[in-house]
């Protein structure tokens, strides 16, 4: 492998790699705003300048491929001065509203200002201001905070496949906006907020909800479809505030679709059933289980297992169900119209899969069969799900729900045994490529809801109504 020298450290590189990436490999951070490893290099923020031996001008590290024997300095006097100057330029028109800005605490501009900038500004003229347009339901724009890095524009055209973010006007008046001020159309709009290095593009969903330094982060996997995009859950006090994309170049790169990003809302929803129910009224766990047992007892039972459950839960059910409901047919369900992994396919050109549950492929491997319709004569159904699988229409049968349900979904259920959502448990899911990934518990099951093994154990030990 060819080598270059960065700040005295020998760094190996693969030909074509730029200096930002090569420096990162040897533990040297070069600051940047406009650069993003997944987007075209534009070299316009000028923050990543480095000094290269035998080159009179400072060079932008993002646009300079490493070369054999190249000697690079990232902390020379000239570089430090240039970074200081760039920070001053970026801040002369940036509002000093960090105290009320949601980006504060995770803002590149703020961080680099502390690290590379100067504590005071020489700018005494009036700051530039813009009037903001509404950009639709996902993103709130604050153009005054924008540093014109154009990551959003490039994300739109190069990743989301839609040229909706544009630069209008020019020079100091340049405004980053949507074409004709239209609302954003892409269903990957949340990434604009992830990408923005300042508080210019923020999630409306997250705005003014929580200072980011209070948030605890859990690395987990999205349960929104069969791809299994890697993401981070941000929670505080057992409440999820947002989910952000987590880099995994083999699965989702740096991105998350809006459906997956905002899927978490049901977890903390007010109408989620978190107390055991007997009929429509809250009950003690023991009573609810007794009611559930007698509701299915003596009936012709079918069991529906959501493909939003983990492999561990699936295996457990494979042991539990035959012992407790011998002869009852078991089906998996999740997405209307997608009954098997054969029917799962790419739903767009970016990330989305047609299966809207995360573990269709896994449950199928365990031997679960897809649900089409209830066998003739079925009089009772036990529905076990994680929270995301779409419930099939169940009419004229006695239904017991085990898992996560909304109040409206549980209407008419004989009993509800509240379970844990994807954010409240550890477990394995298998994506469409057969890749096993792990859900990580970010919060505790709310109210009296419990993990599936615990509920099944209570069921098995309960002396309530006996199965036929």
Partner 1 sequence: MAETQQQDETLFIQHFRESSRPLSYYLEKMAGYTALKKAFGMSQDDIINEVKKSNLRGRGGAGFPTGMKWGFIPKQSAKPKYLVCNADESEPGTFKDRDLMRYTPHVLIEGMVIGGFAIGANTGYIYIRGEYTREAKLLDEAIDEAYAKGYLGKNILGSGFNFDLTVHRGAGAYICGEETALLNSLEGKRGEPRVKPPFPAQSGAFAGPTIVNNVETLASVPFIINRGGDWFAKLGRIEKSGGTRLIGVSGHVKKPGLYELPSGGVTLRQLIYDHCGGILGDKKLKAVIPGGSSAPVLTADEIDVVYDIDPMMKIGSMLGSAAVVVVSEEMCVVRLLTRITKFYAHESCGQCTPCREGTRWMEEVLERIEHGHGREQDMNLLLDIAGNINARTLCALGDAAAGPVTSFVKKFRADFEAHIRSGKCPNA
Give, in order, the Cα–Cα distances in Å from 195 to each of 39, 229, 255, 256. Answer: 11, 17, 9, 11
Strands 380-385 and 301-306, sheet pairing: parallel
Q: Does residue number 380 form part of the binding site for partner 1 (CB under 8 A)?
A: no
Q: Does residue number 455 form part of the binding site for partner 1 (CB under 8 A)?
A: no
**How many residues are recorded in the chain?**
468
| 144 within 8 A of 130, measured Cβ to Cβ | yes
Residue 138 phi/psi, 5-degree rounding, is: -95, -45
Of 89 and 285, CB closest to partner 1: 89
CB of 41 to partner 1, least distance (A): 6
Q: Which of 5, 38, 43, 162 binds partner 1 (CB under 8 A)?
A: 43
Q: Does residue number 82 form part of the binding site for partner 1 (CB under 8 A)?
A: yes
Cβ-based neighbours of 377, under 8 Å, separated by 6 or more: 300
Residue 269 neighbours by CB distance under 10 Å: 15
Q: Which of 17, 76, 104, 174 binds partner 1 (CB under 8 A)?
A: 174
Within 384-423, the residues that bind partner 1 by CB under 8 A are none
Strands 175-178 and 165-168, sheet pairing: antiparallel
H helices within 250-355, ranges in order? 258-261, 285-296, 311-324
Q: Which of 5, 41, 133, 458 binds partner 1 (CB under 8 A)?
A: 41
Q: Does residue number 129 form part of the binding site for partner 1 (CB under 8 A)?
A: no
CB of 182 to partner 1, least distance (A): 18
Q: Which of 17, 26, 38, 89 binds partner 1 (CB under 8 A)?
A: 89
Q: Which of 36, 148, 361, 450 binds partner 1 (CB under 8 A)?
A: 148
**Angle subtended by helix axes 285-296 and 452-461, to nearest 10:** 70
Q: Which of 57, 323, 349, 463 binds partner 1 (CB under 8 A)?
A: 57
Q: Does residue number 4 form part of the binding site for partner 1 (CB under 8 A)?
A: no
CB of 146 to partner 1, least distance (A): 11
Q: Does residue number 38 form part of the binding site for partner 1 (CB under 8 A)?
A: no
Give, in order, the Cα–Cα distances in Å from 236 to each of 17, 138, 218, 394. Answer: 39, 22, 11, 37
Of 94 and 388, CB closest to partner 1: 94
- Please state the three-class secondary structure of 284-295 as a single string: CHHHHHHHHHHH
Q: Does residue number 145 form part of the binding site for partner 1 (CB under 8 A)?
A: no
Q: How far apart are CA 112 and CA 67, in angstroms?
A: 27
Of 88 and 275, CB closest to partner 1: 88
| HSE value, Cβ hemisphere, 13 Å, CA-based, for 273 | 28
| 355 within 8 A of 342, measured Cβ to Cβ | no
CB of 424 to partner 1, least distance (A): 45
Residue 231 neighbours by CB distance under 10 Å: 26
- Residue 442's SS3 state is coil
Q: Does residue number 86 form part of the binding site for partner 1 (CB under 8 A)?
A: yes
CB of 412 to partner 1, least distance (A): 59
Q: Which of 1, 10, 120, 173 binds partner 1 (CB under 8 A)?
A: 173
Q: Does residue number 71 form part of the binding site for partner 1 (CB under 8 A)?
A: no
Q: Does residue number 54 form part of the binding site for partner 1 (CB under 8 A)?
A: no
| 244 within 8 A of 232, measured Cβ to Cβ | yes
CB of 125 to partner 1, least distance (A): 4
Residue 234 neighbours by CB distance under 10 Å: 22
| HSE value, Cβ hemisphere, 13 Å, CA-based, for 47 | 27
Q: Does residue number 88 form part of the binding site for partner 1 (CB under 8 A)?
A: yes
Q: How far apart are CA 89 and CA 97, in angstroms?
A: 17
CB of 267 to partner 1, least distance (A): 41
Interface segment toward partner 1; rule CB under 8 A; list 40-48, 221-229, 238-246, 267-275 = 40-48
Q: Does residue number 305 form part of the binding site for partner 1 (CB under 8 A)?
A: no
Interface segment toward partner 1; rule CB under 8 A; list 134-142, 170-178, 246-254, 318-326 = 170-178
Q: Does residue number 17 form part of the binding site for partner 1 (CB under 8 A)?
A: no
Q: Does residue number 452 form part of the binding site for partner 1 (CB under 8 A)?
A: no
Q: Does residue number 461 form part of the binding site for partner 1 (CB under 8 A)?
A: no
Interface segment toward partner 1; rule CB under 8 A; list 10-18, 166-174, 269-277, 310-318 = 166-174
Q: Does residue number 196 form part of the binding site for partner 1 (CB under 8 A)?
A: no
| HSE value, Cβ hemisphere, 13 Å, CA-based, for 296 | 27
Residue labelled with tokens 């299994």: 228
CB of 196 to partner 1, least distance (A): 16
Q: Does residue number 93 form part of the binding site for partner 1 (CB under 8 A)?
A: yes
Q: Does residue number 171 form part of the binding site for partner 1 (CB under 8 A)?
A: yes
The burial of 162, by beta-carbon neighbours within 10 Å (0-12 exposed, 13-18 middle, 19 or more buried), is given as middle
Applying CB under 8 A, what is the total number of residues that bind partner 1?
33
- Residue 400's SS3 state is strand
Q: List the structure tokens of 451.
A: 């993990």
Where do contacts with partner 1 occur on this chain (CB under 8 A)? Answer: 41-47, 49, 57-58, 63, 82, 85-86, 88-90, 92-93, 122-123, 125, 128, 147-148, 150, 167, 169-174
């Amino acid at each position: 492998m060819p080598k270059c020298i960065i700040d005295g450290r020998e760094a190996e590189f693969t030909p074509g790699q730029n200096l930002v990436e090569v420096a990162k490999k040897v533990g040297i951070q070069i600051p940047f705003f406009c650069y993003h490893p997944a987007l075209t290099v534009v070299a316009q923020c000028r923050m990543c300048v480095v000094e290269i031996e035998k080159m009179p001008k400072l060079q932008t590290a993002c646009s300079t491929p490493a070369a054999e024997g190249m000697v690079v300095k990232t902390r020379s006097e000239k570089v430090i001065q240039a970074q200081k100057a760039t920070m001053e330029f970026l801040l002369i028109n940036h509002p000093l509203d960090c105290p009320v800005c949601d980006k504060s605490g995770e803002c590149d501009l703020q961080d680099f200002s502390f690290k590379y900038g100067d504590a005071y500004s020489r700018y005494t003229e009036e700051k530039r201001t813009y009037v903001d347009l509404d950009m639709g339901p996902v993103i709130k724009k604050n153009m005054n905070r924008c540093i014109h890095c154009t990551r959003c524009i490039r994300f739109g055209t190069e990743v989301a496949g839609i040229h909706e973010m544009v630069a209008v006007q020019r020079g100091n008046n340049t405004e980053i906006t949507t074409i004709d001020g239209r609302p954003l159309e892409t269903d990957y709009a949340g990434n604009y907020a992830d990408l923005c290095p300042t508080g210019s593009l923020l999630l409306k969903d997250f705005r003014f909800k929580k200072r980011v330094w209070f948030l605890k982060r859990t690395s987990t996997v999205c349960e929104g479809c069969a791809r299994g995009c890697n993401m981070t859950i941000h929670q505080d006090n057992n409440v999820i505030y947002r989910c952000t994309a987590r880099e995994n170049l083999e699965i989702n790169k740096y991105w998350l679709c809006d459906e997956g990003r905002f899927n978490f809302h049901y977890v903390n929803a007010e109408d989620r059933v978190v107390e055991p129910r007997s009929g429509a009224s809250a009950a003690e766990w023991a009573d609810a289980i007794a009611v559930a047992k007698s509701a299915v007892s003596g009936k012709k039972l079918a069991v529906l297992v959501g493909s939003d459950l983990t492999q561990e839960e699936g295996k457990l059910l494979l042991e539990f169900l035959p012992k407790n409901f011998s002869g009852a047919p078991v089906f998996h369900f999740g997405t209307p119209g997608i009954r098997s992994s054969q029917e799962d396919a790419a739903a767009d050109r970016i990330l989305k899969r047609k299966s809207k549950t995360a573990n269709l492929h896994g449950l199928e491997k365990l031997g679960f069969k897809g649900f089409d319709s209830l066998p003739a004569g079925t009089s009772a159904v036990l529905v076990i799900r994680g929270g995301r699988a779409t419930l099939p229409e169940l009419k004229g049968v006695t239904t017991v729900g085990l898992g996560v349900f909304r109040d409206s979904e549980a209407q008419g259920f004989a009993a509800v045994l509240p379970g844990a959502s994807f954010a409240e448990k550890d477990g394995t899911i298998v994506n469409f490529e057969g890749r096993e990934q792990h859900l990580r518990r970010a919060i505790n099951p709310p109210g009296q809801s419990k993990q599936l093994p615990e509920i099944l154990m209570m069921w098995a030990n309960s002396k309530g109504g006996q199965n036929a």
